[in-house]
Amino acid sequence: MAYLTDQQAQTLAEAIRGNEKAQTNLQRLGKPELIMVLDAIAFGDDHAVEWLRENGHDDWGLFITAIDGDPYAIQGLFDTKNARLAQVAGYVLGEPRQIEYLRKNNLKAWINLAEAVAEQLSEE
């Protein structure tokens, strides 16, 4: 299961937006899977997704698939108890229920992550 604290979600969002200090902080966290998520989102690195799956981070691979528009991947995230990642993916894809949930519950770091991902994907 992908566990991400609010601070880590915020750092990942800043790294996706190109903040070099945040990218360095991600490396210092000792969570290589977050670097691979960054590479997959910010640089479109397909090898990063393969690395995630090969190294037991299927939930992150599912997240990348979900933000690419696969509704089954979003449901898969919910099914594997990764609701927050599913909500972020739904937000990225413009699903009103997920956007409302994150806003209603004032989950600022997760909203920021969703917005950073959406911005990055719109630039591609």
pLDDT tens, the chain, 124 aa long: 567 899 999 999 999 999 999 999 999 998 899 999 999 999 999 899 999 999 999 999 999 999 999 989 999 999 999 999 999 999 999 999 999 999 999 999 999 999 999 999 998 6
In a domain, 40, yes or no: yes
Evaluate if pTM is beyond 0.85: yes
Q: Which of 71, 21, 72, 16 is nearest to 44 (CA)?
A: 16
In a domain, 1, yes or no: no
Q: Which domain holds residue 45?
A: 6-123
Tally of domains within the chain: 1
